[in-house]
Every structure is written in C-alpha cells, then in structure tokens.
Amino acid sequence: MNTRLTALVAVALTGASASAVTVNLVSAAAPNGFGSSSYATWFSNAQTAVRTGQTSVGTGFAAFNQLAGTNGTTNPRPLYEAAVTGFESWNGAVAPGSGEYGIRMHWVYSIKASAGESISLSNITNRDVLETGWGVSGFSLFGGGGLSSNEFDGDTRVGYAADGTLVSAGSAEAWNAANAGNQISEIVGTFGMAYEPDPTWVGTPEQLLSQLLDALNGLALWEGTLTYTDSNGSTTVNNTVLFAPLPGAAALGFAGIAGLAGIRRRR
C-alpha cells in the first residue's frame, strides 16, 4: 500500500455503503518516552493532530510533526531519530539541561467507528515494527504479536467517547457498559522503538552517542504495522520510515567498540 501522508483503510459494512471502521496510521519522531519531560505534551499534540487531520501541532521538543512521504522511497530520516540514551541528549547530540533523552520513531494511530460499530483495544490484534537493513526479522513490540494490555493508560493509548470525553483509564467495554449511548467512538494510540548504547560501552556521553550513530549506519528502514479486526474481519495498515546514514557518522565512532552487537533496542 502506497502511503503518502497517511494510510487509510475503510472497511465497508456488508450490504451497506457506510464504513464500519476507519484506521489512520502515521509516523513521527517523538521524544523518548522514558524520562523525557516533553513526552506527555507530545502525545497530547499527536492526539490533536490525528483527530483533526493536522500534520503539525505544537512547538519545541514536544512538537508533533507528521512525516511526509513515508512510503519507503522519499523523505529519509536522519539516524539520530532512532537513538535514545540514558543521559540528556537530542538530535544526535549531548544536551545537558534539556530534560530530554533522545528521540525515538513512533507510529500514531487513530481508529474511528461509524455505523454503530463497537471499537475496542481488544480488537487490535497486532502492532509491529519490521526493521530491515541488518537482515533482522520483524518482532512484536508487545510480545507474541499482541497487546500487553487492553486498558487505556493515558501514555500510549486513549479513547474518546461519542461526546468527545477523553477516556484515559479502564477498558472500552467497561466505559460502554457504564455510559449507554455515549460509547467509545475513537481510539488514539502510539507505539515506537529506538536504539540505545549498550550498558557495557565505556566513554563520555559524546563518545557513547557517536558509537551509537556509527553502528546505526546499517539501518535501512522500519515499517510499522497495525492490525485491527472489526466485525467484517482483519484490517491491516502499514507506514514506512526510511533512514539514511548521517554524513561522516562513521568517522565519529569511538574506536574499537562500534558495531551491531553492542546496540540495545528500546521498545
């Protein structure tokens, strides 16, 4: 499926012209969700963007900027957008006092119901990132190809009731049972992955980050996949991010340690 700005799939109801469920999957660089002070605001901005059809919301570290042309052939992303650290960093550089811990690539999804369709996190049967360039096969971010939880958590997945009320805890089923006539009509969530220096590496923060960027020269692309199953069967959408080596990145590697074996994935 060729996706220019978004990946949209509408599943038609049997015998009806209306769509039961519409799934929208977009990609964006995001602050590291583990520790970065701007992540919560970024996710809020992402929700606003995908719900209103905007490609950019917010400013600074917390800005949501949807990637354009993410079909695997245009708009390659810099490698530092796949790099997170245990020290303050941003845009591939050490950044003391920033309150940020690197950038990770995220996919943001919006699942909307119409024509009386009931939507739920339990209907999301898979969210994956397939990485290529290192000959590494796809793997699930949540284990076993499924979700770790069917609960809204406010940080990675929320629901919106028909009247627009934000639901950030509990399940869609519990909300719907307690709110007749005001069911969950939209789910917005995000999943992502990045790489970080191996804890056995030694050196200054600058050296550690240089090692990581050097090792990431083998990365080609990631493809995010979301599978949603509605009443008519499985619907799968994909969105691809193409990475490109930074000019001169190999020359920055900390001597003797750069290499794939030392990279640790952060999911």
Q: Is 266 inside a domain boundary?
A: no
Spatial contact of 196 and 266, defined as CB atoms under 8 Å apart: yes
How distant, in Å, are the alpha carbons of 15, 112, 116, 149, 205 from that of 130?
A: 36, 25, 33, 21, 29
Task: Answer yes or no: is pLDDT of 249 > 70.
Answer: no
Taking the mean position of all CA atoms in its chain, how far away is CA 98? 22
Say yes or no to pLDDT of 59 above 90: yes
- What domain range is 63 assigned to? 7-259
Residue 8 has pLDDT above 60, yes or no: no
Structure confidence at residue 256 (pLDDT) = 32
DSSP 8-state secondary structure symbol assigned to residue 219: -
What is the pLDDT, as a whole number, of residue 149?
76
For residues 173 and 180, give the distance between their C-alpha atoms in angstroms, rounded to a whole number. Answer: 11
Per-residue pLDDT, 223:
86
pLDDT tens for residues 169-222?
Answer: 999 999 999 999 899 999 999 998 899 998 899 999 999 999 999 888 878 888
- Residue at 52 is within a domain: yes
Output the CA angle 96-98-103, nearest 5 degrees: 105
Predicted confidence (pLDDT) per residue in 116-149, tens digit = 777 899 888 888 888 776 544 444 443 334 456 7
Report the pLDDT value the prediction gives residue 187, as an integer from 0 to 100: 96
Which of 16-25, 66-75, 164-173 is the least confident region?
A: 66-75
pLDDT digits (tens, 9 = 90+) for 67-107: 875 554 556 889 899 999 999 999 999 999 999 999 999 99
Q: How large a percentage of the chain has pLDDT more than 90?
A: 48
As for how many domains the chain has, the answer is 1
In a domain, 265, yes or no: no
What is the average pLDDT score of the chain?
80
Flag whether 221 is in a domain: yes
Task: Please check whether residue 2 lies inside any domain of the structure.
Answer: no
Question: Cβ distance 263 to 212 under 8 Å?
Answer: yes
pLDDT band at residue 257 using 50, 70 and 90 as cut-offs:
very low
Among 251, 249, 266, 246, CA closest to 78: 246
Choice among 38-52, 228-242, 245-259 with the minimum mean pLDDT: 245-259
Q: Flag whether 83 is in a domain.
A: yes
Q: Bigger pLDDT: 24 or 132?
A: 24
Q: Of 16-20, 63-67, 112-116, 127-131, which range is least confident?
A: 16-20
Q: Residue 31 falls within a domain, yes or no?
A: yes
- The pTM of the full predicted model, rounded to 2 decimals, is 0.84
Assess whether pLDDT exceeds 80 at residue 113.
yes
What CA–CA distance (Å, rounded) separates 202 from 174?
A: 49
pLDDT for residue 136: 46
The span from the CA of 111 to the CA of 119, in Å, is 8
Token pair listed for 132: 């290529």
Q: How confident is the model at residue 231 (pLDDT cuts 50, 70, 90)?
A: confident
Domain assignment of residue 264, yes or no: no
